[in-house]
Structure 1
Amino acid sequence: MNGSVRMGRVLGVPLRVHWSVPLLVLLFGSSLGSRTLPASVPDQSSATYTVAGLVGALLLLGSLLAHEAAHAFTALKKGIEVKSITLWALGGMTEMGRPRGAGATFLVAVSGPLTSFVVGGAAIGAGIGLDAVSGWAVPAAVLVWLGWVNVVLGVFNLLPATPLDGGRVVQALMWWRTGDRDRADRAAARGGQILGILLISLGWIAVLRGAFGGLWLALVGFFLVIVAGAERQRARLVPALRGVKAADAMSGPVETCPDWFTVERCVHDVALRAHHSTLVLTDFQGRPSGLLRLPQLARIPAEQRQTLRVRDVATALSHITTCAPDDLLEDVLEKLRPGMDPRILVTDGQHLVGIITARDISRIVQRHTLGGTENQ
């Protein structure tokens, strides 16, 4: 996710924290310290409420991490690649590969809510016990609050709509019952869009009635609509791309430019004669080293073109997805990450053989829609 910073690893998986996480801590800490605790444990100092609210918000953040770590742990046990865990203002996200079976999908999905229920039950029990044994009312109230928030989190995540865990459960059950994964994916994504629209509507109704907390509900709904829409689009793409190899989708020949050329030389020797808007840069050994779009060249001031090398303005190879000609296109698209160039370079060893663009993928999908059975 853009705007996130890597903060170590959990279970060997990169952990990233979005810039919005401090807002989450401040929001819940303020709500707990200014309203919930004074109502349940009155006559305490402002400092006590403030510190307790902050501790409670941090414990909530830890429970969100536990929820996502449960997904990651179960996925790794099932042999599914887990790419990252990201915490952000609306909770957490675990980026992973697609499970190969309905059973694995189900177990990965339910592991998160079950963890939230366990954490919630343990926190409520600990809070009640602490209050009864020691009389520490404020810490006990924080634990009880934490427990109920986790219970609500678990219940909300089990709503039958993608990308919530309940949507994944629906996918798994429909896939297991019908044997049609694509149909299951589309149904869960459609449920996510419907739920998102419902939450947006309820949120704005709440705002119009003076409850500005409805903005948070509307924001969650907007997120669901966006992600579920992307999942629905993906569910339409997968059947068209299934079984298609990168070599069947790529276009060529690819126009190249040595990466040590100056911008001026590239413009006069290559760009002005190019038939495509994208050039692949190559190093001294002829290996691809980056991608350069012609509009990037056009934006470079004339006084810099004689000294600036094209490799200094191009997209580096580390931000480009590469694959072999025999790789399945469906698997290749799984490698794409947010912020990476959407174009895919096809290489045979270190030799460039083609490029896959959004237009190439659209062509494959259109042929599938027309009922064609040929990949080429």
Structure 2
Amino acid sequence: MSRGWWTVGRLRGAPIRLHWSLPLGALLWSGFSFAPAFWGAFTLLILVHELGHALLVLRYGLGLSEIAVHGAGGYCRHERSGSRYEESAVAWGGVLAQLALLVVVQLLALALGPPRNIHASQALHVLTTTNLLLIAINLIPLEPLDGAKAWPLLGMLLSGSRRRTVADELRDLSRVPTQSETPDERTDRLVRELIARTTQSKRP
């Protein structure tokens, strides 16, 4: 484990990392109840979301560098900037992966029937109801949510504007370094906010 991160695997050489705060996020979403199946399904759901981004990063050759999941969500880093079309498509990757998971789970539920124990019921709830809720939240068109970059793709598809434009090139040439957060700094900030929210929720 390094700086609170645990590398659990790799995808095309890029590390897949889990942060120590992940159990806090799962605990918060479960309403502070002892629900191991809920926690496991929640972790799987967030990981599937980030893998959805990663697959489109690989599809467009943007250089996948890291997949990370923490208590307040996760992120997928890539080495190169794509066109507006590519960046927008990558933004859709997470929710599309969630939708694919939802379809698979629903088909399995139809084939196997109602859950036979509390653990199966908890997992089904996360992979369906919680899944849909997170899709809706992620598609809100506000930074840093995926919807901020995802929705412009519809306009580009309707106009047929899929290639890298002159505006994209000028934007990249004029880009200068800024004092923005690094992924680790952003994770630390989100974790602090998560801990504060958890503490407030436990107060009577």
TM normalised by structure 2 equals 0.68
Residue 155 of structure 1 pairs with residue 136 of structure 2: yes
CA contact (8 A) 2:19 2:68 kept: yes
Residue 242 of structure 1 pairs with residue 173 of structure 2: yes
Q: What residue number does 1:141 align with?
A: 121
- Quote the offset at 1:65 in angstroms: 0.7
* Post-superposition CA distance 1:252-285 (Å, at most 9, x none): xxxxxxxxxxxxxxxxxxxxxxxxxxxxxxxxxx
Q: What residue number does 1:75 align with?
A: 57
* Post-superposition CA distance 1:10-69 (Å, at most 9, x none): 3431122222112123334455xx4xxxxxxxxxxxxxxx4xx21221121012111101
What is the DSSP-based 3-state SS (H/G/I as helix, E as strand, rest coil) of the residue aligned with 1:242? helix
Q: 1:104 aligns with which of 86, 109, 116?
A: 86
User: Relative contact order, CA 8 A, sep 6+: which one is greater?
Assistant: 2
CA RMSD of aligned residues (A): 3.6
Query: How many angstroms apart in 2 are the aligned matches of 1:339 and 1:153?
Result: 23
- Quote the offset at 1:75 in angstroms: 0.6
TM normalised by structure 1 equals 0.40
Query: How many angstroms apart in 2 are the aligned matches of 1:97 and 1:171?
Result: 22
Residue 27 of structure 1 pairs with residue 28 of structure 2: yes
CA contact (8 A) 1:8 1:15 kept: yes
Query: How many angstroms apart in 2 are the aligned matches of 1:174 and 1:153?
Result: 24
Percent identity between matched residues is: 25
CA contact (8 A) 2:46 2:74 kept: yes
Q: What residue number does 1:13 align with?
A: 14
Query: How many angstroms apart in 2 are the aligned matches of 1:5 and 1:89?
Result: 13
CA contact (8 A) 1:102 1:173 kept: no
- Are residues 338 and 110 of structure 1, via their aligned partners in 2, closer, same or farther at CA, if it must alter by over 3 Å? closer
- Are residues 145 and 11 of structure 1, via their aligned partners in 2, closer, same or farther at CA, if it must alter by over 3 Å? farther
CA contact (8 A) 2:37 2:120 kept: no
Moved more, 136-145 or 108-117: 136-145
- Are residues 28 and 338 of structure 1, via their aligned partners in 2, closer, same or farther at CA, if it must alter by over 3 Å? closer
- Quote the offset at 1:339 in angstroms: 7.1
CA contact (8 A) 2:95 2:135 kept: yes
Equivalenced residue count is 175
- Are residues 6 and 137 of structure 1, via their aligned partners in 2, closer, same or farther at CA, if it must alter by over 3 Å? closer
Amino acid at match of 2:132: V
- Are residues 5 and 141 of structure 1, via their aligned partners in 2, closer, same or farther at CA, if it must alter by over 3 Å? closer
Unpaired stretches in structure 1, ≥5 consecutive residues? 35-49, 183-237, 244-328, 341-376
